[in-house]
């Protein structure tokens, strides 16, 4: 006689798995008992069906959809499992399941823009901030911790970057040249702290205009400005 309801061996199941775990990966095993002769005979399902997990007739929960296991989108899933006895019985049991996703380093740092600009004028002082770069990383813990560095473009050693906050400061004064804009292109990277690190690059253009002398221009290049390319460059300097 079927007079005992089915029962899960736990009211609540919790498990942690890596995000991006592959389809069909084992997650956990629920067990249904029934004191009646023959044990539990019926069907087990997940409610709601939309979660990216499946359950087999023997109570094993597996990954159904790997792409939906993105910790940056959904960090944990809560759902129910239901064991329903075959008709004519209407007895059923339910239990709660919570699956938490552990972080993988699957995002690279992203700069707020792909290129930055800074300027150094004649009032330059050692230690002054020239420009600040900033990147963000969606991952968790070390996987999302960013350190900044100048990879190249700083051969003359004028600049230094704070690896923690992206501040680029002047550490050696620039010898400015009158009527000329000196340009420095720094290739900067933001690197995360994952076991296998990911990094992204950005360009930092720093311009250092020297003093401009309109009087000098008038005396020397009078009447030729529009015809001479070199003079046009100097005119640009003056309008910066
Ligand atoms: Ca039963
Ligand atoms: Ca992810
Ligand atoms: Ca991640
Ligand atoms: Ca990362």
Evaluate whether 148 touches 163 at the Cβ level (below 8 Å): yes
Backbone angles phi, psi at 207, to 5 degrees: -110, 135
pLDDT tens series, the chain, 240 aa = 668 999 999 999 999 999 999 999 999 999 999 998 888 999 999 999 999 999 999 999 999 999 999 999 999 999 999 999 998 888 999 999 999 999 999 999 999 999 999 999 999 999 999 999 999 999 999 999 999 999 999 999 999 999 999 999 999 999 999 999 999 999 999 999 999 999 999 999 999 999 988 765 555 555 444 444 444 444 444 444
Query: Which residue ranges make up each domain of the chain?
Result: 7-102, 110-209, 212-240
In the reported structure, the alpha carbon of residue 28 is separated from the centroid of ligand 2 by a whole-number distance in angstroms of 22
Look at residue 216 in the predicted model and tell me its pLDDT: 57
> Which residues contact residue 215 at a Cβ distance below 8 angstroms, ignoring those fewer than 6 apart?
none
Cα 150 off chain centre by:
20
Tell me whether the CATH fold assigned to 7-102 matches the one assigned to 110-209: yes
In the reported structure, the alpha carbon of residue 229 is separated from the centroid of ligand 4 by a whole-number distance in angstroms of 47
In the reported structure, the alpha carbon of residue 190 is separated from the centroid of ligand 3 by a whole-number distance in angstroms of 17
Look at residue 212 in the predicted model and tell me its pLDDT: 87
Asked whether the CA dihedral 36, 38, 41, 44 is positive or negative, the reply is positive
Evaluate whether 166 touches 148 at the Cβ level (below 8 Å): yes
Look at residue 236 in the predicted model and tell me its pLDDT: 47
Distance, CA of 40 to CA of 60 (rounded, Å) = 15
DSSP annotation of 86: P
In the reported structure, the alpha carbon of residue 144 is separated from the centroid of ligand 2 by a whole-number distance in angstroms of 12
In the reported structure, the alpha carbon of residue 201 is separated from the centroid of ligand 3 by a whole-number distance in angstroms of 20
- Assign domain 7-102 one CATH number from 1.10.150.120, 2.60.40.60, 3.20.20.410, 2.60.130.10: 2.60.40.60
Which-ligand-closest: CA of 192? 4
In the reported structure, the alpha carbon of residue 106 is separated from the centroid of ligand 2 by a whole-number distance in angstroms of 5
Q: Where are the alpha helices (DSSP H) in the chain?
A: 214-221, 229-239
In the reported structure, the alpha carbon of residue 33 is separated from the centroid of ligand 1 by a whole-number distance in angstroms of 9
Architecture field, domain 110-209: Sandwich (2.60)
Q: 88 burial class (0-12, 13-18, 19+ CB within 10 angstroms)?
A: exposed
Look at residue 88 in the predicted model and tell me its pLDDT: 85
Look at residue 219 in the predicted model and tell me its pLDDT: 52
In the reported structure, the alpha carbon of residue 25 is separated from the centroid of ligand 2 by a whole-number distance in angstroms of 17
HEC string for 4-58: CCCEECCCEEEEEEECCCCCCCEEEECCEECCCCCCCCEEEEEECCCCCEEECCC
Cβ < 5 A residues, ion ligand 1:
2, 4, 34, 36
In the reported structure, the alpha carbon of residue 21 is separated from the centroid of ligand 2 by a whole-number distance in angstroms of 11
Evaluate whether 162 touches 169 at the Cβ level (below 8 Å): yes
């Amino acid at each position: 006689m079927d007079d005992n309801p089915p029962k899960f061996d736990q009211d609540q199941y919790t498990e942690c798995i890596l995000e991006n775990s592959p389809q069909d990966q084992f997650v956990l095993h629920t067990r249904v008992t029934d004191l009646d002769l023959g044990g539990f005979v019926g069907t087990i399902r997940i409610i709601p069906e939309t979660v990216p997990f499946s359950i087999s007739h023997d109570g094993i929960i597996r990954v159904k959809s790997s792409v939906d296991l993105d910790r940056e989108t959904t960090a944990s899933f809560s759902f129910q499992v239901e064991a329903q006895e075959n008709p004519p019985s209407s007895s059923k049991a339910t239990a709660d399941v919570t699956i938490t996703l552990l972080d993988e380093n699957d995002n690279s740092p992203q700069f707020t823009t792909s290129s930055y600009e800074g300027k150094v004028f004649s009032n330059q002082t050692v230690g002054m901030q020239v420009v600040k770069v900033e990147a963000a990383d969606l991952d968790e813990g070390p996987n999302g911790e960013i350190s900044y560095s100048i990879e190249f473009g700083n051969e003359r050693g004028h600049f230094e970057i704070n690896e923690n906050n992206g501040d680029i400061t002047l550490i050696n004064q620039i010898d400015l040249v009158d009527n000329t804009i000196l340009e420095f292109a720094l290739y900067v990277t933001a690197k995360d702290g994952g076991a296998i690190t990911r990094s992204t690059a950005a360009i930092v253009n720093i311009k250092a205009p020297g003093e401009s002398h309109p009087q000098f221009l008038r005396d020397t290049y009078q009447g030729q400005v529009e015809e001479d390319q070199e003079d046009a460059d100097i005119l640009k300097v003056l309008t910066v």
